[in-house]
Amino acid sequence: MRNVVLGLAGLTLLVACSKAPGNAANTAAAPASAAPTSAAAAAAAPTPVAGPAVSGSYTVDGKAAVLTQVTTHKDDPFDGQPVTDLVFTAKDQAGDAKAADDALFGNFGDAMVVKIEPDGSVIGADIVHSGLKEQGSVSLSGVLTVKNYQGAGGQISGELTSAGPTDVFGQKVDVDLTFHTAAP
Protein backbone atom coordinates (compact mmCIF):
# COMPACT_ATOMS: atom_id res chain seq x y z
CA MET A 1 0.00 0.00 0.00
CA ARG A 2 2.82 2.37 0.91
CA ASN A 3 4.47 1.74 -2.51
CA VAL A 4 1.22 2.57 -4.28
CA VAL A 5 0.85 5.86 -2.35
CA LEU A 6 4.49 6.82 -3.05
CA GLY A 7 4.06 5.90 -6.72
CA LEU A 8 0.91 8.03 -7.03
CA ALA A 9 2.60 10.93 -5.22
CA GLY A 10 5.59 10.74 -7.59
CA LEU A 11 3.30 10.59 -10.61
CA THR A 12 1.34 13.62 -9.37
CA LEU A 13 4.57 15.56 -8.84
CA LEU A 14 5.75 14.64 -12.35
CA VAL A 15 2.48 15.79 -13.92
CA ALA A 16 2.49 19.05 -11.94
CA CYS A 17 6.08 19.86 -12.92
CA SER A 18 5.56 19.08 -16.61
CA LYS A 19 2.62 21.49 -17.07
CA ALA A 20 3.29 24.70 -18.99
CA PRO A 21 3.57 27.78 -16.77
CA GLY A 22 0.41 29.81 -16.51
CA ASN A 23 1.82 33.33 -15.97
CA ALA A 24 2.18 35.93 -18.73
CA ALA A 25 5.94 36.42 -18.32
CA ASN A 26 6.68 32.83 -19.23
CA THR A 27 4.07 32.82 -22.00
CA ALA A 28 5.89 35.63 -23.78
CA ALA A 29 9.07 33.57 -23.80
CA ALA A 30 7.29 30.57 -25.35
CA PRO A 31 7.39 31.77 -28.98
CA ALA A 32 11.14 32.38 -28.78
CA SER A 33 11.72 28.87 -27.51
CA ALA A 34 9.40 27.47 -30.19
CA ALA A 35 11.50 28.99 -32.97
CA PRO A 36 14.49 26.65 -32.55
CA THR A 37 12.14 23.67 -32.53
CA SER A 38 10.60 24.81 -35.82
CA ALA A 39 14.04 25.36 -37.34
CA ALA A 40 15.13 21.92 -36.18
CA ALA A 41 11.99 20.38 -37.66
CA ALA A 42 12.57 22.19 -40.95
CA ALA A 43 16.18 21.00 -41.05
CA ALA A 44 15.05 17.42 -40.41
CA ALA A 45 12.39 17.54 -43.15
CA PRO A 46 13.41 15.55 -46.21
CA THR A 47 14.31 17.52 -49.31
CA PRO A 48 12.15 16.86 -52.36
CA VAL A 49 13.61 14.34 -54.78
CA ALA A 50 14.72 15.85 -58.08
CA GLY A 51 14.62 14.32 -61.53
CA PRO A 52 11.90 12.56 -63.48
CA ALA A 53 8.94 11.19 -61.55
CA VAL A 54 9.63 7.70 -62.92
CA SER A 55 12.81 6.23 -64.37
CA GLY A 56 14.10 2.74 -64.94
CA SER A 57 12.74 -0.31 -66.71
CA TYR A 58 9.55 -2.33 -66.95
CA THR A 59 9.70 -5.25 -69.37
CA VAL A 60 7.76 -8.37 -70.30
CA ASP A 61 9.74 -10.99 -72.23
CA GLY A 62 12.28 -8.29 -73.03
CA LYS A 63 9.71 -5.86 -74.49
CA ALA A 64 10.13 -2.50 -72.77
CA ALA A 65 7.37 -0.21 -71.59
CA VAL A 66 8.18 3.42 -70.89
CA LEU A 67 6.31 4.58 -67.81
CA THR A 68 6.45 8.36 -67.49
CA GLN A 69 3.99 9.21 -64.76
CA VAL A 70 3.22 8.12 -61.21
CA THR A 71 0.42 9.31 -58.95
CA THR A 72 -0.88 8.22 -55.56
CA HIS A 73 -4.41 7.55 -54.43
CA LYS A 74 -5.89 6.43 -51.13
CA ASP A 75 -7.34 2.92 -51.26
CA ASP A 76 -9.40 0.88 -48.82
CA PRO A 77 -7.52 -0.22 -45.67
CA PHE A 78 -6.01 -3.70 -45.59
CA ASP A 79 -5.78 -5.58 -42.30
CA GLY A 80 -6.41 -2.34 -40.41
CA GLN A 81 -3.63 -0.44 -42.22
CA PRO A 82 -4.13 2.44 -44.68
CA VAL A 83 -3.28 1.56 -48.28
CA THR A 84 -1.91 3.81 -51.00
CA ASP A 85 -2.18 2.99 -54.70
CA LEU A 86 0.89 3.93 -56.73
CA VAL A 87 -0.36 4.32 -60.29
CA PHE A 88 2.44 4.16 -62.89
CA THR A 89 1.40 4.89 -66.49
CA ALA A 90 2.83 5.44 -69.95
CA LYS A 91 0.24 8.11 -70.82
CA ASP A 92 -0.82 11.27 -69.00
CA GLN A 93 -3.39 10.61 -66.27
CA ALA A 94 -4.63 14.24 -66.47
CA GLY A 95 -5.72 14.34 -62.82
CA ASP A 96 -8.01 11.32 -63.21
CA ALA A 97 -9.58 10.62 -59.79
CA LYS A 98 -10.10 6.98 -60.82
CA ALA A 99 -6.65 6.56 -62.34
CA ALA A 100 -6.11 3.16 -60.69
CA ASP A 101 -9.27 1.69 -62.24
CA ASP A 102 -8.74 3.36 -65.60
CA ALA A 103 -5.12 2.15 -65.75
CA LEU A 104 -6.28 -1.44 -65.32
CA PHE A 105 -8.58 -1.06 -68.31
CA GLY A 106 -5.68 0.10 -70.48
CA ASN A 107 -6.78 3.75 -70.71
CA PHE A 108 -3.19 4.93 -70.08
CA GLY A 109 -1.34 2.32 -72.15
CA ASP A 110 1.20 0.20 -70.28
CA ALA A 111 0.65 0.62 -66.54
CA MET A 112 1.11 -0.72 -63.04
CA VAL A 113 -1.06 -0.24 -59.96
CA VAL A 114 0.89 -1.12 -56.84
CA LYS A 115 -0.75 -1.21 -53.41
CA ILE A 116 1.52 -0.27 -50.52
CA GLU A 117 1.19 0.10 -46.76
CA PRO A 118 2.55 3.11 -44.81
CA ASP A 119 5.96 1.44 -44.39
CA GLY A 120 6.28 0.83 -48.14
CA SER A 121 5.42 -2.88 -47.99
CA VAL A 122 3.82 -4.03 -51.24
CA ILE A 123 0.60 -5.95 -50.62
CA GLY A 124 -0.31 -6.49 -54.24
CA ALA A 125 0.01 -5.21 -57.78
CA ASP A 126 -1.77 -5.29 -61.10
CA ILE A 127 0.14 -4.85 -64.33
CA VAL A 128 -0.89 -3.94 -67.86
CA HIS A 129 1.72 -4.38 -70.59
CA SER A 130 1.47 -4.69 -74.36
CA GLY A 131 3.88 -7.65 -74.18
CA LEU A 132 1.55 -9.78 -72.04
CA LYS A 133 -0.19 -12.67 -73.78
CA GLU A 134 -3.28 -12.06 -71.66
CA GLN A 135 -5.27 -8.96 -72.57
CA GLY A 136 -6.12 -6.67 -69.67
CA SER A 137 -4.42 -6.67 -66.31
CA VAL A 138 -2.57 -9.42 -64.46
CA SER A 139 -2.55 -9.49 -60.65
CA LEU A 140 0.72 -10.15 -58.83
CA SER A 141 1.39 -11.04 -55.23
CA GLY A 142 4.80 -11.39 -53.61
CA VAL A 143 6.67 -10.39 -56.78
CA LEU A 144 7.41 -6.70 -56.17
CA THR A 145 9.09 -4.86 -53.30
CA VAL A 146 9.96 -1.23 -52.64
CA LYS A 147 13.56 -0.53 -51.61
CA ASN A 148 14.76 2.73 -50.03
CA TYR A 149 11.16 3.75 -49.31
CA GLN A 150 10.64 7.30 -48.06
CA GLY A 151 7.24 8.57 -47.04
CA ALA A 152 7.57 11.98 -45.40
CA GLY A 153 7.19 15.67 -46.08
CA GLY A 154 4.24 15.10 -48.40
CA GLN A 155 6.35 12.93 -50.74
CA ILE A 156 6.62 9.21 -51.44
CA SER A 157 9.71 7.81 -53.14
CA GLY A 158 11.62 4.59 -53.56
CA GLU A 159 12.70 1.88 -55.96
CA LEU A 160 10.07 -0.60 -57.10
CA THR A 161 11.72 -3.87 -58.08
CA SER A 162 11.06 -7.48 -58.95
CA ALA A 163 14.72 -8.27 -58.10
CA GLY A 164 15.31 -9.47 -61.64
CA PRO A 165 13.14 -11.29 -64.18
CA THR A 166 10.40 -13.36 -62.58
CA ASP A 167 8.01 -15.85 -64.13
CA VAL A 168 4.42 -14.66 -64.40
CA PHE A 169 2.18 -17.15 -66.19
CA GLY A 170 5.04 -18.33 -68.38
CA GLN A 171 6.34 -14.85 -69.20
CA LYS A 172 9.33 -13.02 -67.75
CA VAL A 173 8.39 -9.78 -66.00
CA ASP A 174 11.20 -7.49 -64.89
CA VAL A 175 10.61 -4.28 -62.94
CA ASP A 176 13.24 -1.82 -61.75
CA LEU A 177 11.72 1.65 -61.36
CA THR A 178 12.83 4.60 -59.27
CA PHE A 179 10.01 6.99 -58.46
CA HIS A 180 8.91 10.02 -56.48
CA THR A 181 5.52 11.67 -56.22
CA ALA A 182 3.28 13.62 -53.91
CA ALA A 183 1.59 11.63 -51.16
CA PRO A 184 -2.19 11.28 -51.44
pLDDT in tens, 155-178: 999 999 999 999 999 999 999 999
Question: Is pLDDT at 27 greater than 70 in this prediction?
Answer: no
Residue pLDDT, tens place only, 60-112: 999 999 999 999 999 999 999 999 999 999 999 999 999 999 999 999 999 99
Q: Is 123 exposed, middle or buried (0-12, 13-18, 19+ CB in 10 A)?
A: middle
Distances (CA, A) of 65 to 55, 61, 111, 177: 11, 11, 8, 11
CA dist., res. 89 & res. 100, Å (int): 10
135 — pLDDT class (breaks 50, 70, 90)? confident
Q: 153: helix, coil or strand?
A: coil
Q: Which of 78, 145, 148, 134 is nearest to 106 (CA)?
A: 134
